[in-house]
Amino acid sequence: MNFLAEIKEAVINGNTSKVQEITRAALDAGETPQTVLNEGLIPAMSIVGEKFQKGEFYISEMMISARAMYGGLDIVKPLLLNQKVESKGKAIVGTVQGDLHDIGKNLVCMMLEGGGYEVVDLGINISPDQFVAAVKEHKPDFVMMSALLTTTMAYMGKTIKALSENGLREQVKIAVGGAPVTQKFADSIGADFFASDAGEAVTKANAILALK
């Protein structure tokens, strides 16, 4: 079995020490941190989600897998952040109200930092009012919202509305993402952009800044 397949298997099995051991071995053997992340750690969580959907995994097992994934992330993160440059702009990032999923949101934060952005990570379960307060406090260039549940996606639209009602909408560019979010949904709620992964979030943010 190759390293990436072994990483996936260890994440699915929730074996943190094994994930860390193979992640180190993969990097020693010349795999890039990006490959370990994008072809090992992240796809493993998709398989975990499929297993949950099929009833093969309980929530507790999803959590154990998530913890194992973070074990690998701890190792690749410093390598991905190595190329730090001067701050290009500021982004506030949060998972929307009612939603506790933070792996994707954390990856977006990490890639933004690696891409030279100053990041204010608001955390999970962030209400529209909390986003509004954070925009007033931090005056960011970007507001980035993550949602993993079809039921919580609605809070993205509610947050944009709250920003408009507080006269803040035009001061920021708004990005949305997370597994159930699509370009069509982003357009329907008036977000400025959608990205399907954390790398693309940075590329699109860069493109918007270039236009400013």
122 sits near ligand B12 (criterion: CB under 6 A): no
Residue whose CB is less far from ligand B12, 30 or 60: 60
User: Which residues, 33 to 92, sit near ligand B12 by CB under 6 A?
Assistant: 42, 45-46, 48-49, 52-53, 59, 62-63, 66
**In this structure, how many other beta carbons lie within 10 angstroms of the beta carbon of residue 204?**
18
Q: Is 62 exposed, middle or buried (0-12, 13-18, 19+ CB in 10 A)?
A: middle
Q: What amino acid occupies position 181?
A: V
Q: Is 126 left (phi over 0), alpha (psi -120 to 50) or beta?
A: beta
State the nearest-atom distance from the C-beta of 176 to ligand B12, in Å. 5
Residue 126 makes contact with ligand B12 by CB under 6 A? no
| Angle value at C-alpha 42, between 40 and 47, nearest 5 degrees | 90
Q: Which stretch binds ligand B12 (CB under 6 A): 1-9, 23-31, 105-113, 155-163?
A: 105-113
Strand order, beta sheet including 90-96: 118-126, 90-96, 142-146, 173-177, 193-194
The binder of ligand B12 chosen from 99, 113, 121, 141 (CB under 6 A):
99
User: CB under 6 A: which stretch of 2-10, 80-88, 140-148, 154-162 binds ligand B12?
Assistant: 140-148
At closest approach, how far in Å is the CB of 44 from ligand B12?
Answer: 9
- The Cα–Cα gap between 204 and 22 comes to 32
In the bound state with ligand B12, the residue whose beta carbon lies nearer, of 27 and 66, is 66
Residue 96, strand partner residues: 126
Q: How far apart are CA 31 and CA 132, in angstroms?
A: 41
The H helix count followed by the E strand count for the chain is 10, 5
Q: Which is nearer to ligand B12, 21 or 200 (CB)?
A: 200
Q: Which is nearer to ligand B12, 28 or 169 (CB)?
A: 169
Q: Which is nearer to ligand B12, 80 or 201 (CB)?
A: 201
Out of 26, 80, 175, 189, point to the residue binding ligand B12 (CB under 6 A).
175
Sign of the CA dihedral 143, 149, 154, 158?
Answer: negative
Residue 173 beta carbon to ligand B12: minimum distance, rounded to whole angstroms: 11
Per-residue contact flags (x/-) with ligand B12 for residues 151 to 170, judged by CB under 6 A: --------------------
Least gap, CB of 170 to ligand B12 (angstroms): 19
